A and B are shown apart, each in its own frame.
Chain A
Amino acid sequence: MKYNISIKAEKKNLKKVRTFLENIFAQMQVPEVERNQLILVVDEILANLIIHSAKSDMQKDIDISLSENAGEVTFEIYDYNSPYFDLTQHEDANLQDLKKQKRKGGMGLTLVKNIMDEVEVSYEDNTNIWRLQKKLPFLILKKSKNTYE
């Protein structure tokens, strides 16, 4: 099953995407903590894209898809008309440095990388395509249990 949602790059739409994902993960019976982690990951990436989009003064569209196959959840996020984002250049947050620099940002991608099993960004036609994957073994267990019931 694949689910899709498209938004304009505006902060007010973050809640809309979270509610969309919350409903899907509730149907999939993903436990609350893991559900929150998955929603957070998408929220963090969207927040980054929206903030950068606002800097370039261009209101763009962002497409998000969610699929689940054999207990693995995959998100794809399409960030159109963007310069290449080189994920390999990202360094995990150093909390002492953030404190010293009185920075509000800098922790989002660290959260994403800590939560997901795989995070990739590919670049095609001026579009960064984020692909995030996480195995949720209990989804397979739940399905096999349902099969026997």
Chain B
Amino acid sequence: MNLTAEHQANVYLLHVEGDLDASSSIILDNAMQEAIQRNEKAIIVNCEKLNYISSAGLGVFMSHLSDLEEKNIFFALCSMNEKVKNVFDILGLGELIKYYPNQDLALQAVK
């Protein structure tokens, strides 16, 4: 898995690429942890190039939701392919995590 990060205005954008499984989820976990500690105003995880996600990857997002809320940090996922979105939907994670079909919509939601 590859992770790249950029700032667009007040938004911290994480681009996840490849497979996010029990072996690689620690990388994303560290990046999320650091972003929360820095008190970023908004974090968007762009999943456009994410090929695969298991519960270990989704668990990283779940484990930070309380801290994100507590610090009033906007958090959203965007641009999942059909098979990754299918896993997200099976667990009903849309109840707890904001999701947008593309990055522009996610960025608009921050404003």
Does A29 sit within 8 A of B, measured CB to CB?
no
Q: Interface residues of B toward A: which range?
A: 20 to 34
**How far is A106 from B63 in the complex, measured between Cα atoms in Å?**
11
Within 8 A of A (CB), among B1-38: 19, 21-23, 25, 29
The answer to whether B39 has its CB under 8 Å from any CB of chain A is no
Residue from B23, B55, B92, B93 in contact with A12 in the complex, judged by beta carbons closer than 8 Å: B23
Return chain A residues, CB-CB under 8 Å to B22.
Answer: 11, 14, 43, 47, 50-51
Contact of A47 among B29, B54, B64 (CB under 8 A): B54
Q: Nearest A residue to B81 by beta-carbon distance?
A: A32
Bound CA span A11–B63, Å: 21
From 42 to 67 in chain A, residues with beta carbon under 8 angstroms from any chain B beta carbon are 43-44, 47, 50-51
Contact call A104/B83, Cβ cutoff below 8 A:
no
Contact of A104 among B23, B63, B91 (CB under 8 A): B63
Contact of A115 with B by CB under 8 A: yes
Q: List 14 A-B contacts (CB under 8 A).
A: A14-B21, A33-B82, A37-B90, A44-B55, A47-B56, A93-B91, A95-B62, A95-B91, A95-B92, A99-B66, A99-B96, A102-B66, A105-B56, A108-B54
Q: Which residues of B approach A to under 8 Å, CB–CB?
A: 19, 21-23, 25, 29, 52, 54-56, 58-60, 62-67, 82-83, 86-87, 90-93, 95-96
